[in-house]
């Protein structure tokens, strides 16, 4: 997994010297790959249950027609019905995504910079609340 992430970052960094379009496209690819990787890791960690939440989520992802379904699956995994089947080892990671953060924390900065980019392209954004959670970064893709 670390090799995969390193290769994506290398591709993005190398594309800076090519063209703005190539760099932008590679940033989109990196964001999509990161989203999918996170969703798959969290889904794989789910405990087996009688309602088969893991199967339900994977079934939806296999048939997904866009990144929006991946983001909705992450929302379900972190705060929806499937979240009760996360193992204890994943709870600290769940908290990283769901805790409301103030300015100065890395989660807040990530969402704030995404909002800034969206406003530059005149895309609609929520008003900037005083506290943001990292899930908001993933919600912006659908």
24, two tokens = 């932008």
Identify the pLDDT of residue 140.
60
Q: In this structure, how many other beta carbons lie within 10 angstroms of the beta carbon of residue 111? A: 24
Q: Helix (H, G, I), strand (E, B), or coil: what is residue 101?
A: strand
3-state class (DSSP) for residue 51: coil
Residue 118 · residue 128 · CB < 8 Å: no
**What residues in the chain have per-residue pLDDT under 70?**
127-128, 140-142
- What pTM was estimated for this model as a whole? 0.86
- In three-state secondary structure terms, 88 is helix
Three-state secondary-structure class, residue 132: strand
Return the residue matching tokens 């992430």. Answer: 5
Q: What is the pLDDT of residues 35-74, one digit of tens each?
A: 999 999 999 999 999 999 999 999 999 999 999 999 999 9
Helical packing angle, 20-45 and 88-98, nearest 10°: 140
Other Cβ atoms within 10 Å of 115 Cβ, number = 19
pLDDT the model gives residue 92:
95
The pLDDT score that the predictor gives to residue 142 is: 45
| Confidence at residue 83, expressed as pLDDT on a 0 to 100 scale | 95
């Amino acid at each position: 997994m670390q090799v995969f992430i390193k290769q994506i970052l290398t591709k993005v960094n190398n594309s800076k010297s090519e063209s703005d379009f190539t760099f932008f496209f590679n940033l989109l690819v990196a964001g999509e790959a990161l989203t999918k990787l996170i969703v798959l890791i969290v889904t794989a960690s789910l405990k087996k249950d009688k309602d088969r939440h893991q199967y339900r989520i994977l079934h939806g992802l296999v048939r997904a027609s866009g990144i929006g379904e991946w983001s909705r699956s992450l929302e379900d995994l972190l705060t929806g019905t499937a979240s009760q089947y996360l193992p204890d080892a994943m709870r600290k990671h769940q908290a990283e995504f769901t805790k409301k953060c103030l300015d100065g924390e890395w989660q807040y900065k990530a969402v704030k910079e995404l909002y800034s980019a969206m406003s530059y392209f005149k895309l609609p954004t929520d008003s900037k609340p005083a506290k943001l959670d990292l899930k908001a970064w993933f919600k912006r893709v659908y």
